[in-house]
């Protein structure tokens, strides 16, 4: 009988990972959170011995005859700006780079496939005007987030010939409305609720991504790994349909009936113009596509009502 996936997940209390947890449990797959908070036993992935002990305990609790554990590495510091404190800088390098190194090492030690969660920001130093392909060379900008996530990808990809690793690149997540951390939709609504006028870029191309779609893609990826239907080192672009911050905000304003003036602004000279990731290969591999932003936002509005 074919094995089923058992999910181990770092950063399991986070905005996206908590939705993955719900999706996994809906399908009755085992789920084990690895986090400093939100789980019965706090785990610090920076302490290798602690991580080793917890992973050993978790995988021993499931039948290896029935289940194949797969570890999803969501834990990361996501400060995306330039003006970070030294404490934020140090924590970013420790968790995003050193933490990833520990996770890769522990997955190799326990023979567990790894799905590393990355970001479109690994391309934020590039100048390409067309969508980025999974095989394009990454080119981070000088921000700590971009630099550390690019370094983490390099660590994961160096291991692809010795162990099973897959990378999922995500972008501008939105949804999971009951979580304390806001996604892109809640951030925009917060601006609209507190300001009479909001300026948003109309010449920056991004791929806001429904968290419900990310959760579905994670479950599908784990199933492909367990079935040996995906190769090590594969990079998947799990992102939503391309748009601009301004166009997305217009949808948010109309669907959630916000009383605010939206104005178009230019990103010229202020940041990256193109964050679009090509999803053609990913959609073929996973067999799923992201819903339209209008469809997803209407669903979220109905959930909040």
pLDDT tens by residue, 107-120? 999 999 999 999 99
The two tokens of residue 272 are 């990256």
The two tokens of residue 283 are 């959609």
List phi, psi (to 5°) of 154.
-60, -40
How long, in residues, is the chain?
Answer: 305
DSSP state of 292: P
Contact predicate 103/45, CB 8 Å: yes
pLDDT tens by residue, 239-256? 999 999 999 999 999 999
In the chain, what are the domains? 4-304 (3.40.50.720)
Q: What pTM was estimated for this model as a whole?
A: 0.96
Question: What contacts 294, CB < 8 A, 6 or more positions away?
Answer: 251, 255
List phi, psi (to 5°) of 200.
-140, 145
Contact predicate 48/102, CB 8 Å: yes
Residue 1 predicted with pLDDT over 70: no
Q: Which of 91, 98, 107 is nearest to 160 (CA)?
A: 107
Q: Which of 114, 153, 156, 148 is nearest to 136 (CA)?
A: 153
């Amino acid at each position: 009988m074919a094995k089923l996936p058992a999910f181990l997940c770092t950063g399991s209390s986070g905005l996206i990972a908590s939705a993955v947890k719900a999706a996994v449990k809906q399908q009755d797959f085992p789920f084990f959170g690895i986090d400093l908070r939100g789980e019965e036993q706090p785990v610090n992935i920076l302490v290798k011995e602690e991580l080793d002990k917890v992973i050993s305990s978790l995988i021993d609790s499931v039948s290896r005859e029935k289940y194949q554990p797969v570890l999803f590495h969501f834990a990361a510091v996501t400060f995306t700006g330039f003006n970070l404190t030294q404490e934020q800088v140090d924590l970013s390098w420790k968790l995003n780079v050193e933490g990833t190194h520990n996770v890769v090492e522990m997955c190799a030690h326990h023979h567990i496939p790894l799905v590393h969660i990355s970001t479109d920001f690994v391309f934020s130093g590039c100048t390409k005007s067309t969508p980025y392909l999974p095989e394009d060379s990454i080119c981070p900008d000088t921000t700590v987030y971009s630099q550390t996530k690019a370094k983490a990808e390099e660590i994961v990809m160096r291991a692809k010939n010795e162990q099973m690793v897959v990378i999922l690149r995500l972008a501008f997540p939105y949804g999971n409305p009951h979580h304390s951390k806001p996604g892109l939709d809640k951030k925009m609504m917060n601006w609209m609720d507190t300001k009479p006028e909001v300026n948003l870029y109309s010449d920056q191309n991004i791929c806001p991504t429904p968290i419900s779609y990310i959760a579905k893609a994670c479950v599908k990826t784990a199933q492909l790994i367990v079935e040996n239907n995906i190769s090590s080192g594969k990079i998947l672009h799990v992102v939503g349909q391309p748009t601009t911050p301004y166009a997305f905000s217009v949808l948010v304003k109309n669907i959630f009936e916000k009383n605010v003036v939206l104005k178009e602004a230019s990103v010229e000279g202020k940041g990256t113009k193109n964050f679009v990731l090509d999803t053609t290969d990913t959609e073929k591999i996973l067999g799923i596509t992201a819903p339209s932003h209008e469809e997803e936002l209407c669903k979220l509005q109905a959930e909040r009502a």
